[in-house]
A and B are shown apart, each in its own frame.
Chain A
Amino acid sequence: MDLEKGLESARVVIREDECKGCGLCINICPEKVLFEQKHLNRMGYHPAGYLGTGCIGCGFCFYQCPEPGAITVYKKGYVGEEVER
């Protein structure tokens, strides 16, 4: 991720290990770029995943998600470090 010049497009990062597979982010995403993954994570949930393109950085998913650190949304133009967790 080139975070020095500023992100050219928004993106979302999902920490699979912190995801409880509730599906609320998938349900709310206006761009339909989130999906339920087939595999199970360490807690036994099917974690949400990102298609890899198409996120517009609206943040809807972030404010649906009950977990403090499961979702990070970087908006277009973000300059700075990558959030570790």
Chain B
Amino acid sequence: MAEKVLKRADSFYPIFERKGGPTPDVTHYCPGCGHGVLHKLIAETIDDFGIRDRTILISPVGCSVFAYYYFRTGNIQSAHGRAPAVATGIKRVFPQSIVISYQGDGDLAAIGTNNILQAANRGEKITVFFVNNAIYGMTGGQMAPTTLIGQKTTTSPMGRKPGNEGFPIRMSELIATLHAPIYVERVALTDAKNSTRVRKAVRKALQNQIDNKGFSFVEVLSVCPSGWKMTPVQAKEWLTQEMIKAFPLGVYKDISDEIEAQPAKGNVFSVQGLREQLNLPEEKVAPATPVNKTATPEKYRNPRLKMAGFGGQGILMLGLGIAQAGMDAGYEVSWIPSYGPEMRGGTANCHVNLSTERIGSPLVTRPTVLIAMNLPSLEKFVDEVVPGGLIITDASLVTQPPARKDLEHLSIPATQIADELGNTRVANMVILGAYIAYTQILDQETVFASLPHFIKQKSLIGLNIQAIKKGIESISSQIKN
């Protein structure tokens, strides 16, 4: 506390824009909540150590789920109890980053118990701050694994009974039995003296990571006035009088002095570093217009496609084919399959985007093009199509036109053509041919060249090319008519 002024840490955002609302300058925590206090101690340490640019905080599920509103560091919000796994991944890929796993007792000691034990046992070189407030705060005060014997919660209204609910789990003691962790301490946010200990523990646990020493775990006993149904001052009292008895404070393990400080080598977090790790090519600036720019009429450019049909009709492959060829033609593309129960004869669908711009969401909720390979699919998705959109149906299976009159409709006897070629399963490629010919979104050479990327059985490529050609012809004959 050598500083002559104690003020809002720079590692907090000055205004919590992610929180928004009428009071974006204060946290969402209840009055007196321990999370806010611990946040301050962590933010101050990040400031003092000058590590803000390389710190990544993993927030849990629990009241601190929104920690990313506040910390001006890297942030990831993980699935319930999985922060240690996310932290492991980040730390291993970017050893020079400072990775903090911030977790509550429901998160760390209930749904995520195995996760934290395994990360501790592997000795991941991360820092864990474990906020033990003996309750599930966020969900309204249910019993936690750390709830004290006799403590009343909404799910232990008569008080926790060991015979029924077991004993409070002491995570620090458990973790200290493992070989790999280097520092395990339990501290409490109570009076000034104990708060100073918390501050020291936070600093030590982060210093250990800066020195690349190993797994550090700090359990912070913390008040939850709302969950405990007490005033903040009463809650501090209860923590001091009762909780510390069940969870004795102290250092449970510390071998950090025996380990030599050796600042980590390897990747520092950066977008470029991430590309290298994931083996991604240099960032490509998307071409301003598609290869086939002059050919594609305006209304068919940047299509958002949804395609649907029976399982077995090759819907997913049709989408993959359009996406693959689109990518080869220089578009930004996305493809998401929807694996439903199609294996059991249900319907399958997938979403595809081709765009000259970066794609924000791969989901296609308002398609500009709907390919419906059977009647149920047409009925299911026709209302989603944007006015003026294009619908392509398989004439062999969809015998009536769509009810909507504000759409363009193309009916291709795809299954019949495929049967004539000797294989019903290439109906999807007939449709593909019809689609590219009608909208002139892709040229056939690009499509043919892309086939080997998604058709595993090389002997089938010739048949697929034939089917695509038939699809293209079906359009030229329609246009002639």
Contacts and interface: CB of A to CB of B under 8 A. Distances in A.
Specify whether A and B are partners. Answer: yes
Interface of A: 17-18, 20-24, 27-28, 42-43, 45, 58-60, 62-75, 77-80, 83, 85
Nearest to B26: A18
Contacts of B34: 66
A18 B8 CA distance: 12
Contacts of A70: 26
A27 B191 CA distance: 10
B191 A69 contact: no
Interface stretch (B229-237, B322-330, B340-348, B426-434): B229-237
A10 to B, nearest CB: 9
Interface string B189-216: 0011001100100000000000000000
A85 B6 contact: no
B37 A66 contact: yes
Nearest to A7: B4
Interface residues of B, number: 38
A17 B231 contact: no
Contacts of B27: 66-68
Interface of B: 1, 3-9, 12, 14, 23, 25-27, 29-37, 39-41, 43, 70, 191-192, 195-196, 199, 225, 231-233, 236
Contacts of B41: 63
Contact of A27 (B14, B195, B196, B233): B233
Given A22-B232, A77-B4, A68 B37 contact: no
A66 to B, nearest CB: 3
A67 B345 CA distance: 57
B232 A62 contact: no
Given A66-B35, A69-B8, A80-B4, 19 more contacts: A24-B32, A24-B232, A43-B23, A59-B1, A63-B6, A63-B192, A64-B37, A64-B192, A65-B36, A66-B29, A66-B34, A68-B36, A70-B26, A74-B4, A75-B4, A75-B5, A80-B5, A83-B5, A85-B8
A83 to B, nearest CB: 5
B199 A63 contact: yes
B192 A60 contact: yes
Nearest to B38: A66
A50 B237 CA distance: 24
A22 B32 contact: yes
Contact of A45 (B1, B7, B31): B31
A68 B33 contact: no
A72 B5 contact: yes
A22 B192 contact: no
Nearest to B237: A27
Contacts of A21: 31
B191 A28 contact: yes
Nearest to B198: A63
A85 B14 contact: yes
A6 to B, nearest CB: 9
Contact of A28 (B14, B192, B199): B192
Nearest to B35: A66
Contacts of B26: 18, 20, 43, 67-70
Contacts of B70: 68
Nearest to B191: A28
Nearest to A10: B4
Contacts of A60: 192, 195
B468 to A, nearest CB: 61
A78 B37 CA distance: 24
Contacts of B232: 22-24
Q: Which 3 residue pairs spanning A and B have beta carbons closest together?
A: A66-B36, A22-B32, A22-B31
B230 to A, nearest CB: 11
A69 B236 contact: no
Contacts of A20: 26, 30-32
A67 B43 CA distance: 12
Contact of A24 (B1, B3, B199, B236): B236
B14 A63 contact: no
Nearest to A27: B233
Contacts of B12: 68-69
Contacts of B7: 69, 72-73, 83
